[in-house]
Structure 1
Amino acid sequence: MSTVLQTKTTSGGRIFYGWWIVFGCLLVAVVGWSLTVFGMGVYIHALSERPGFSISLISTAVTVSYLVNAVCLISVGTATTRLGPKLVFAAGAGILALTVPALAYCEQAWQVFLIFAVMGLGRACLSTTSISTTLAPWFERHQGRAVSMALLGASIGGMIGTPLLLGGMTVFGEKTAFILAGASSLLVVLPVVLFVLKRTPQEMGLLPDGEAPATDRATKTEAFWSRKGAMATRQFYSQLIAFALSLMVQIGFLSHHVSLVAPKLGDQGASIAVSSAALAAFIGRIALARFADRVDLRLTTAGVLLVAAASLAAMAMTSSAEGLLLTSVCYGLTIGNLTTLSPIIARREFGAASFGAVYGVAASVIAIATAFGPGLFGILRDTFNSYGPALVVAALLNLVAAIIIVWGGRKPLPSPS
């Protein structure tokens, strides 16, 4: 963090305000991931214990939630650019404040599907897309570091979200715990919206990265990619396919992590496993934040995917409590980096001027694919009465993704048409 804060404005040596935007986005990510991505595992575990609610049924409802999220991402990115992040983040927090408590009152399947569908919109408003779009005007040279730092909040959400939800259910009961969880979204996000967020550095008399004005140097003209032009390149569709496969696996795993380990570890042990994986993701994100602006991102992504594949394959072959904890931590090292690398690669290869249009499409398609992760895990688990086959399939998909991401960078990016 100290390395980050060395970037200052030109007046008085103050910390560049963009890093306060990063901190605000970090808090937004804590809420977004703890109550959606990591919270899904708790919701599946809690709802599946009620009569008439099977794991496959709830997993399908979670898939619907992610599909709604995917459909909304392009509009959310556009809204963040045109209206500013304040309205988008406030809407996301408000939706979660309503839908999370509502889950505790579900009695019929259609209610579960409806609530998860609406939650998908809230997830989109607090997503990687909205956070990356919020940060895009503030950073050029330090874009990779800024996004990585902001998305540390996702790992923090995993570390604290699941234990607080499970612990709250034990201490207060399910309904009270879900009500408190929903209220926390407003308590955390609204102060960020009201007191921290600004749209651009220019409205504060600043430049991206806190750079000093340089009237004596030529202005750099950046090539602009249309959506159609970008989609015709192997760089675009290789990263799209690779991240669609790997993030489908990731979302499926995270949604079932509690149910996967709880039979062997119990609720407390499952909470430790999820928190340990999130802590590992936090460590992985810190490492990426340190080197993201200097490494070959495609080779880095391939390495992350190979670690993920090995971890899932090992988890499929172990039944001991120690083995489940160890493999959860190993897979956790890859969780944060996969989420963070996707927008950073798009920004580096297609540039800041084209980022909104290009990544908006990519994020939407990737999110549609990831929506099927929870359902895939749930169907395979119910079919084989075990999570083993689902983990093996997930490991193979990560291997395929690693090959594709390296292949996509083997040729130079052509000039925009």
Structure 2
Amino acid sequence: MPGRRLFHGWWIVLTGAVLQLLQGSLLGQAYGSYVVVLSNDFGWSRTVLSGASALREAEGGIVGPAQGWLVDRFGPRRVARIGVVILALGFFLFSRINSPWTFYGAFLVMAVGASLMGYLTITTAVVQWFERRRSTALSLTSVGGALGGVIVPLTVLSLEGIGWRSTAMVSGILVLVVGLPITSLLVRSPAELGLEPDGDSPEAAAMARTVRSARGADFTLREALREPSFWWLSLGHGAALFVVGAVNVHMVSHLNESLGYSLGAAAGVYSALTLVFMFGTLAGGWIGDHSSKRFMAFCCMGMHAVGMILLAHATHALMIAAFVVIHGSAWGMRGPQMAALRADYFGRTSFGAIMGISNMVVILGAIFGPLIAGYIYDQTGSYRLGFDVLAGLAAAGSVFFALARRPAPRATPEPLPESDPVLTPPQAAA
């Protein structure tokens, strides 16, 4: 229709993509490059440097339940804005570190900020705005993270050109200048603007509600916790993060030290990996909206396992290229399905709280994946055994997703309370 305005849900997607771009290019996917320069400057072990990544992920698991409740209660805009300010402050502190303890302290501040403006807040917002196109919307949001990885070489150029301290300071300024304005686009739900999910007409939305009613009402947090599928999904997602976390932290170091790549060349491989991830994300979004999300996750975990074996035993560029294609595709296609599966299984009403509790399990993979690889490297001088162990955990993840069958619908649909009684503000803060 001529003159028809763009559905605001797509502005939510854009906002999420930009916030993930900031995190990916400046912190999350750039951290592997920081590992090299910090090790050279301070002589810290890989276990110490992996510990910072583990600290960040542990914070996400601890804060997750409270964050989920906050997003459900106060909306994503307020939570994301607070996160932007805290992340910027963390970068400023990071630029002044001089010991492992000040390093960990600054990283903890960055971790809190990154969490509040990150995955849980963004996916909760997107899930409220989309149903039929949920996987596609989540995949487009994830493209921001992929682009962040693609432009990591710019961060590397900054590290080599002006040093890591100045790079951290500039990163904090960028987070504020870009992050604060764009969070104004975050609106809690379509109803606040008189809209329907997916931009549907009121008639189409009424029909969709009829279909949802036939499947039963949304699950509360308490009800979701009773479902085996909640735990299998959490374990499968956690197994994936064992692999993704280790690759994000250690791949650049592995290529640089074990295979003789320059820091710039290793960062280039990471950029290629995230470029494949981006295309995999786009493909996975479309496939997830038209086929079984669970089967896709099952297959992708097998691909993660194969990719880690290739990376561990690589002896020439072709094996690295195969790893990039296989692991990057699996990472991209699987990622959007993690939130979409939970929304499909348990509904939108308590999605933030459900994701927050699930993250307490999931985050164990992101914590221990880098630590396992870093510890084994410190003991053996090689990443090979650590990557082989992680390949086995990825294979186990396929089994977890195979067991994560959709729960039976609630027998009697009933109104849900505005906030879940299982998680109250005092408990969330404890």
What TM-score do the two structures reach when normalised by structure 1?
A: 0.91
Shift of 1:110: 0.7
Q: Which runs of 5+ in 2 are unaligned?
A: 412-430
Change (3 A) 1:190 1:354: closer
Q: Greater shift after overlay, 185-194 or 272-281?
A: 185-194
2:97 aligned residue (97, 102, 106): 106
AA of the residue aligned to 1:239: L
Cα separation, 2, equivalents of 1:144 and 1:292: 6
Cα separation, 2, equivalents of 1:358 and 1:17: 25
What's the counterpart of residue 3 of structure 1?
A: none
8 A Cα contact 1:148 1:288, kept in partner: yes
8 A Cα contact 1:88 1:125, kept in partner: yes
Cα separation, 2, equivalents of 1:258 and 1:234: 37
Number of residue equivalences = 404
1:128 aligned residue (102, 119, 122): 119
Q: Does 1:210 align with 2:199?
A: yes
1:184 aligned residue (174, 180, 187): 174
Cα separation, 2, equivalents of 1:35 and 1:372: 22
Cα separation, 2, equivalents of 1:298 and 1:212: 30
Q: Greater shift after overlay, 336-345 or 275-284?
A: 336-345
Cα separation, 2, equivalents of 1:137 and 1:302: 26
Change (3 A) 1:396 1:17: same
What's the counterpart of residue 252 of structure 2?
A: 258
8 A Cα contact 1:253 1:377, kept in partner: no
What's the counterpart of residue 305 of structure 2?
A: 309
What's the counterpart of residue 128 of structure 2?
A: 137
What's the counterpart of residue 363 of structure 2?
A: 367
What's the counterpart of residue 147 of structure 2?
A: 156
What aligned pairs does 1:185-200 form with structure 2 within 5 A after superposition? 185-194=175-184, 196-200=185-189
What TM-score do the two structures reach when normalised by structure 2?
A: 0.88
Q: Deviations over 1:375-400 (max 9, x none)?
A: 11110111111010111011111111
8 A Cα contact 2:235 2:361, kept in partner: no
Q: Does 1:69 align with 2:60?
A: yes
Shift of 1:104: 3.5
Q: Deviations over 1:176-204 (max 9, x none)?
A: 2221122111222122123x222222222
8 A Cα contact 2:285 2:333, kept in partner: no
Q: Greater shift after overlay, 305-314 or 97-106?
A: 97-106
AA of the residue aligned to 2:171: A
8 A Cα contact 1:165 1:181, kept in partner: no
What's the counterpart of residue 282 of structure 1?
A: 278
What's the counterpart of residue 232 of structure 1?
A: 226
SS in 2 for 1:15: coil
Shift of 1:276: 0.4
AA of the residue aligned to 2:170: L
Change (3 A) 1:214 1:100: same
What's the counterpart of residue 380 of structure 2?
A: 384
AA of the residue aligned to 2:175: S
AA of the residue aligned to 2:53: V
What's the counterpart of residue 347 of structure 1?
A: 343
8 A Cα contact 2:88 2:173, kept in partner: yes
Cα separation, 2, equivalents of 1:175 and 1:359: 35
2:32 aligned residue (21, 33, 41): 41
Cα separation, 1, equivalents of 2:193 and 2:227: 37
Q: Greater shift after overlay, 32-41 or 395-404?
A: 32-41
Cα separation, 1, equivalents of 2:218 and 2:345: 11
Shift of 1:159: 0.8
Shift of 1:23: 1.0
What's the counterpart of residue 428 of structure 2?
A: none
Cα separation, 2, equivalents of 1:317 and 1:368: 26
Shift of 1:163: 0.9
Shift of 1:326: 3.8
Cα separation, 1, equivalents of 2:31 and 2:18: 19
Cα separation, 2, equivalents of 1:145 and 1:159: 21
1:91 aligned residue (76, 79, 82): 82
8 A Cα contact 2:285 2:336, kept in partner: no
Change (3 A) 1:197 1:358: closer
What's the counterpart of residue 4 of structure 1?
A: none
Shift of 1:174: 2.1
SS in 1 for 2:202: coil
Q: Greater shift after overlay, 100-109 or 67-76?
A: 100-109
AA of the residue aligned to 1:200: S
SS in 2 for 1:416: coil
Shift of 1:238: 1.1
Cα separation, 2, equivalents of 1:120 and 1:169: 21
CA RMSD of aligned residues (A): 2.1
AA of the residue aligned to 1:199: R
Change (3 A) 1:14 1:382: same
Shift of 1:147: 1.1
1:413 aligned residue (398, 407, 410): 407
SS in 2 for 1:265: coil
8 A Cα contact 1:58 1:112, kept in partner: no
SS in 1 for 2:186: coil
What's the % identity of the aligned pairs? 25
Cα separation, 1, equivalents of 2:177 and 2:322: 35
Shift of 1:338: 3.3
Q: Deviations over 1:150-195 (max 9, x none)?
A: 11111111111x212211012222222221122111222122123x
AA of the residue aligned to 1:170: E
What aligned pairs does 1:43-58 form with structure 2 within 5 A after superposition? 43-58=34-49
Shift of 1:28: 0.9
AA of the residue aligned to 1:242: G
Change (3 A) 1:338 1:40: farther
Cα separation, 1, equivalents of 2:93 and 2:30: 14
Cα separation, 2, equivalents of 1:38 and 1:159: 9
